[in-house]
Structure 1
Amino acid sequence: MLRLEGLSKRYANGDRALDHIDLHVPAGQVVGLIGPSGAGKSTLIRCVNRLVEPSEGKIFLGDVELTALGRAGLRQARRRMGMIFQEYALVERLSVMENVLSGRLGYVGFWRAWFRRFPQADIDRAFAVLDRVSLMDHVDKRADELSGGQRQRVGIARALVQEPDILLVDEPTASLDPKTSRQIMRLIVEICAERNLAAIVNIHDVALAQMFVQRIVGLRAGRVVFDGPPESLDPAALTAIYGEEDWSKTMTREEEAEDRAHEAASEQLRGVRAPLIAEAL
């Protein structure tokens, strides 16, 4: 689906944000992109849709070389790439429906877009994705009336209404509380499975990435230093990505927290079952 060959980005001051990245993401796979600040995670995502122009290398989406496209070809190719932003990138004064329909701007003419006269098929498509992300009760609300989690769902719906082949997701949970973060990550992963979508998710929360994605790619100083399943992300791998730290203690605390959560859930379940059993007897 997506293939990067020798992708590099060097800025005018000589700083190298990406250093010969080779990466293949097949259809249906969700990749978590992790690494310290400045590792090149956001730059990589923005190079894929050429919001940032690569300095070297090639990018393929399917059989189309994105790095060889002119303006018209790139505009068409961007229809196939749904972008989900950390800060939502919504038009605050517009309704939820209008923000979602903006995902169809690449398919309609200028004047239809200007007057917001979208084909009925696009409106039906927007209703369908709004239902999928549980926003049908908020269709006519302005974007600035929504919570952070609801805004991110609008951003997901806007990306889906494009009918893309890949989702490029930049820090989708950075502004959200832990519970909402899990809900948003779960939604992204479920949608990718349903639609056989590839996805690259730039995420700073390692534990959250391990919980939901199928594959983790770790960047450091613009280079891939880890590429594997979440269960292989051991202290040695974390040190390679982030540098020296006592990761074993961190991982132990995470495991203990999970154990406590399981125990609490079991206790709650036993508390529910006990009266039912007594009543049955």
Structure 2
Amino acid sequence: MLTLSGVCKRYPTGDRALSDIELSLPRGQITALIGPSGAGKSTLIRCINRLVEPTSGSIRLDDTELTRLSGRELRRARRAMAMIFQEYALVDRLSVMENVLSGRLGHVGFWRSFLRRYPAKDVTEAFRLLERVGLSHALDKRADALSGGQRQRVGIARALVQSPQLLLIDEPTASLDPKTSRQIMRLIRELCAERRLAAIINIHDVALARQFADRVVGLRAGRIVFDGKPDELSAEILTTIYGEEDWDTQADHERDAPSKSKTQSHPALMSPISALAALSTGSTR
């Protein structure tokens, strides 16, 4: 479904963010991008939807060569690629429902959205999605009155109301506590399975990548250094991706954490807002 071939990104300063990326993603697969800060994970996601312009290489979504598109053609192609942002990119003064419906901007146009004149079928779908993500009780709440987990659920519903084929997800759990992080990742996985959506998730939490992804791609210094199944992430491979660390001790800690939690509880680049606007208008500058 999605194929990247020889994708490179070099900035005017001469810094190379991505080098010769080769990646194919089939429909319905959840791929986690892991790697140290500065490895190129966010850049890779943004090159796919052209929020960042790749310097060279090919990016194909089905039969469409994305790197050759501009203007209206690019806006049309972006309808098939929905992005979920780390910092949510919600409009705080708008209600939950209004934020979700903003995901239809690429379909209904700016003025219909501005005047809140959405087709009835879009409103019905927004209601259905908010119920699915557990926010049917908060339709009229302002976005700035929500918790971090709730805001991320609004972002997920907004992405899905776009009716995409591909989800591009940038650090969905970075600002969330461990329990909420698992809930959000579980929700993403369930929704992808229900809709047979492919997803690429930039994520720092290796444990979550292991638990919820079908495939893990490790980046280091802009290059893919690992591409395989989550259960293949050995200490040696983690060292290749991140550098030297006592990964066996870390793995023991991750295994112990769930049982400890259970015992305690029982019994007892571009800003997200700018990026969202760019996705709606087709401008990346």
Q: Distance in 2 between matches of 1:149 and 1:262?
A: 21
| 2:118 aligned partner | 118
| 2:181 aligned partner | 181
The within-5 A match list for 1:111-150 is 111-150=111-150
* Amino acid paired to 1:112: R
| 2:155 aligned partner | 155
> CA deviation digits over 1:49-74, x for unaligned, max 9?
00000001010111111111121111
* Amino acid paired to 1:187: L
| 2:277 aligned partner | none
| 1:225 aligned partner | 225
| 1:92 aligned partner | 92
| 1:240 aligned partner | 240
Q: How far did 1:114 drift?
A: 2.2
Q: Which moved more, 1:67-76 or 1:163-172?
A: 67-76
Structure 2 length-normalised TM = 0.91
Q: Which moved more, 1:106-115 or 1:17-26?
A: 106-115
Q: How far did 1:260 drift?
A: 4.6
| 1:272 aligned partner | none
Q: How far did 1:112 drift?
A: 1.3
> CA deviation digits over 1:197-256, x for unaligned, max 9?
000000011111111111100000000001111100000100000011111111122223
Q: How far did 1:111 drift?
A: 2.5
Q: How far did 1:116 drift?
A: 1.3
The within-5 A match list for 1:21-60 is 21-60=21-60
Q: How far did 1:110 drift?
A: 3.5
Q: Distance in 2 between matches of 1:110 and 1:17?
A: 33
Structure 1 length-normalised TM = 0.92
Identity of counterpart residues, as a percentage?
Answer: 66
Q: Distance in 1 between matches of 2:186 and 2:89?
A: 21
> CA deviation digits over 1:81-124, x for unaligned, max 9?
11000000000000000000000011113431221110101101
Q: Distance in 1 between matches of 2:92 and 2:16?
A: 35
Q: Distance in 2 between matches of 1:168 and 1:118?
A: 25
> CA deviation digits over 1:104-158, x for unaligned, max 9?
0111134312211101011011111111101100000000010000000000000
| 2:283 aligned partner | none
Q: Distance in 2 between matches of 1:111 and 1:230?
A: 45
| 2:172 aligned partner | 172
| 1:275 aligned partner | none
* Amino acid paired to 2:236: A
- Any unmatched runs of 5+ in structure 2? 269-285
- Any unmatched runs of 5+ in structure 1? 269-281
The within-5 A match list for 1:252-263 is 252-258=252-258, 260=260
Cα pair distance change 1:216/1:108, threshold 3 Å: same
Q: Distance in 1 between matches of 2:262 and 2:113?
A: 50
Q: Distance in 1 between matches of 2:254 and 2:97?
A: 39
Q: Distance in 1 between matches of 2:110 and 2:248?
A: 56
Q: Distance in 1 between matches of 2:89 and 2:261?
A: 35
Q: What SS does the aligned partner of 1:151 have?
A: helix
| 1:103 aligned partner | 103
| 1:214 aligned partner | 214
Q: What SS does the aligned partner of 2:17 have?
A: strand
| 2:3 aligned partner | 3
* Amino acid paired to 2:145: E
Rg larger in structure: 1
Q: What SS does the aligned partner of 2:53 have?
A: coil
Q: Distance in 2 between matches of 1:200 and 1:258?
A: 26
> CA deviation digits over 1:154-191, x for unaligned, max 9?
00000000000000000000000000000000000100
Q: What SS does the aligned partner of 1:168 have?
A: strand
| 1:12 aligned partner | 12
